Amino acid sequence: MKKLGRFVSTRTGFFAMLVVLFWAKTLLAYTTDFNLGDTSFIEGAITFFNPLATTIILLSIGLYFKRSRFFYPVIMMFYVANTVLLYLNVIYYREFTDFMTVATMTGYSKVNQGLSGSSLALTNVHDLFYWLDIVVILLLMLFKKIKFDPRALGHRLAFAFTSIGILALGLNIMVAEFSRPQLLGRTFDRTYIVKYLGVDTFTGYDLLKSQHTYSMRKSATKSQLEKVKKFTDSNYAKPNDKLYGIAKGRNVIVIHLESFQQFLIDRKINGQEVTPFLNSLYHSKSTYAFSNFFHQVGQGKTSDAENLLETSTFGLSQGSLFATLGNDNTFEAAPAILEQRAGYSTAVFHGNVASFWNRNNVYKNLAYQYFFDASYYDTSGDKSTGYGLKDKLLFADSVKYLEHLQQPFYVKYITVTNHFPYELDSEDKDSSFTTTNTGNTTVDDYFVTAHYLDQSIKEFFAYLKKSGLYKKSIIVIYGDHYGISNSENKSLASVLGKSSSSWTDYDNAMLQRVPLMFIIPGTNQGKVYSTYGGEVDVLPTLLHLLGISTKRYIMFGTDLFSSQHKQVVAFRSRDWVTPKYTSVNGTIYSTKTGKTVKLSKKQKKSVEAYQEFVNKELNLSDSLNEKNLLRFYTPKGFTKVNASDYNYSNGLAKEKKIEKKKGTKSTSLYSENGNKSTTSLYSTDAPEINHSSTSSNRIKITNPDSNN
């Protein structure tokens, strides 16, 4: 004890003590207050050590001060400031299940106004431990149990400590990036950044990013907006008279098929269809399907797809728009338009944690009224895989929320089971389906989870029919992006009846096709359209089917059914596809044959014009989003979305309250059904449904490695 007392009475000892104490406090927060998800051994080790680096760096600044009347106050100031940051995050996390961004702290964020008066109610008994050490240290200093050490360390030694900290930070980032590629580049979830790099590094990184965003936005002007508007106006495609309004007033049910590519449609393996139900939909007379529809996502993958579909603008060239700009951007998105123009209620059903892709914040700016995330479902034990609740359970367990929504509604189901690494418990596997034997487990397993997804859609459709929702709805089904990455396409070649030896970039580009189907029960003009289009085109197409004009909005896509639709599909990489030519990395292929083409002078001109169009489209979309230009534009009749109007807790209670208030005027399925639930109409063969949950009802995030 004495020895220890003597040690902490030296400057190095005092410094070491503070480092260890702060480390312990951070671990306290990690284990009791934050939910960083399940961890593998490696992840656990990274999390355990990650508070050290930044703590050493910060506190070592004190070591540069020679006089003890500066050394002690400075080092304590950093210590207290870091504790404040940690503690604010603890409190904030209790309220929002998220970490504080710089924008939130400075009050710049529109989504979360930061901590409110009620935050005090969020304190806990064990919070004492975040502060107790400071009081004890000060007292020990006061009573000379810790003595001031007059001997300064010397700049060399101080610098050595700082260097150790910086080295440790570098190592931390390296190991983190290795275990979680593109952790910082994609920033898909703040929780992951804290889990791997700690609160300080997260805050520092966020500060850099917000500075960048801030400077981009500051210089923005209205005339830049006008430039964008001029471009989108000049591309506007007028609706197709035959189809305009054919789904007017109907519920809209959007089903996001995770990682689902077009080649799965009508695909047979060992004589068996992989997705028999989706195939039957694809060929149905009430389905308006597309065979040359491409995804257009970048690094933001699912979130980019969501943005493309619901705002008709592109994601960013780097990172995810949802994650980087979603907290503050002005959106004029599908939920807001439908609510304001046609009185729709709006909801998302998704079995992953709300913070993933920053959805908990972005959805408020999109004007989603309800977000039923993992916390609304029992995701325990075998009920979920890497990215959350299994699809069959998502559809089944959402009925209790869906039936209380006022109609018409616009709802989105984001599935997850068909996600890399395509894992499925054996009890969920259909024993009568045998998959490929390519030797590439990703490819082989992909067909198994796609088959499972097909079955879950089939069960959901059976419920829609039984409950009567089917006839009153338009169902939009789309694949968000590739599931098999380019590096694995060669293993896929034989399954597609091609040879891996002659595989080209063109083949990779063609595989970026994903399904798009509009199912409008009761109509019979449906067919498979061969029009070329991309995800950015969905919103104007859908709005026109609902009889809602789009001319007033800034949208980069155009109605796929319109005769004026330009069939130029821009990829985020600036490659592109038209019915005639495909451009990949500057090489031009014939879209029909896949052969490279020698261009005549005239052809060269038209190819250059396509490239110019694609560049312009992407540049203007980026400028719109990066500079937040929509804040300068309010379309006719549009009320700006106020994120603080939205809150996603107690969703069901809110639905019921509205039902009660509307009384006999309530249009929810539940009310229409004589105030009886329709959950009993749902039948699923999901084996998990009868298991009682044993472990805690927390989402199991088991190292869901990204596959790009």
Would you please indicate which residues are annotated as catalytic (active-site) residues? Answer: 302
413 binds ligand GP9 (CB under 6 A): no
Least gap, CB of 279 to ligand GP9 (angstroms): 23
CA nearest neighbour of 254 among 686, 542, 641, 681: 542
Nearer to ligand GP9 by Cβ, of 302 and 330: the residue is: 302
Give the residue closest to ligand GP9 by C-beta. Answer: 301
451 binds ligand GP9 (CB under 6 A): no
> If residue 422 lies in a helix (H) or strand (E), which one and from where to where?
none
Rounded-to-integer distance, Cα 303 and Cα 357, Å = 6
Least gap, CB of 416 to ligand GP9 (angstroms): 6
For residues 328, 333, 337, 339, the Cα torsion angle rounded to the nearest 10 degrees is: -70
Least gap, CB of 457 to Mn ion (angstroms): 16
Among 331, 387, 470, 576, binds ligand GP9 (CB under 6 A): 387
Would you give the DSSP letter of residue 596? B
Distance of CA 50 to the CA centre of its chain: 25
Sheet containing 581-584: which strands, arranged edge to edge? 569-570, 576-577, 581-584, 587-590
299 binds ligand GP9 (CB under 6 A): no
Rounded-to-integer distance, Cα 454 and Cα 441, Å = 20
Least gap, CB of 304 to ligand GP9 (angstroms): 8
In the window 330-369, what residues touch ligand GP9 (CB under 6 A)?
352, 356
Least gap, CB of 375 to ligand GP9 (angstroms): 13
The dihedral built from the CA positions of residue 239, 537, 565 and 625, taken in this order, carries a sign that is: positive
240: three-class secondary structure by DSSP:
coil
In angstroms, the Cα distances linking 133 to 127, 129, 140, 625 are: 11, 7, 10, 46
Burial of 107 per CB tally in 10 Å (0-12, 13-18, 19+):
exposed
Inter-residue contact 468 to 506 (CB < 8 Å):
no
Among 295, 364, 390, 419, binds ligand GP9 (CB under 6 A): 419
96 binds ligand GP9 (CB under 6 A): no
Nearer to ligand GP9 by Cβ, of 302 and 436: the residue is: 302
Among 173, 197, 396, 416, binds ligand GP9 (CB under 6 A): 416
Stretch that binds ligand GP9, among 129-137, 192-200, 308-316, 414-422 (CB under 6 A): 414-422
* b/e burial code for range 281-295 (CB count within 10 A of at least 16 → b): bbebebbbbbbbbbb
Nearer to Mn ion by Cβ, of 165 and 300: the residue is: 300
301 binds ligand GP9 (CB under 6 A): yes
Nearer to Mn ion by Cβ, of 302 and 438: the residue is: 302
Which among ligand GP9, Mn ion, none contacts residue 195 (Cβ within 5 to 8 A by kind)? none
Which among Mn ion, ligand GP9, none contacts residue 416 (Cβ within 5 to 8 A by kind)? ligand GP9
Least gap, CB of 84 to Mn ion (angstroms): 38
Interface ranges with Mn ion (CB under 5 A): 258, 301-302, 480
CA nearest neighbour of 406 among 708, 215, 671: 671
Least gap, CB of 271 to ligand GP9 (angstroms): 31
Inter-residue contact 518 to 287 (CB < 8 Å):
yes
Interface size with ligand GP9, residues (CB under 6 A): 8
Give the residue closest to Mn ion by C-beta. Answer: 302
Task: Give strand ranges (E) for 427-502.
Answer: 473-479
290: three-class secondary structure by DSSP:
strand
Position 474: which residue type?
A: I
Inter-residue contact 420 to 411 (CB < 8 Å):
no
Tokens of 348: 């998302």
Stretch that binds ligand GP9, among 402-410, 413-421, 495-503, 507-515 (CB under 6 A): 413-421
Binding mask 499-528 vs ligand GP9 (x if CB under 6 A, - otherwise)?
------------------------------
* Residues near ligand GP9, by CB under 6 A: 301-302, 352, 356, 387, 414, 416, 419
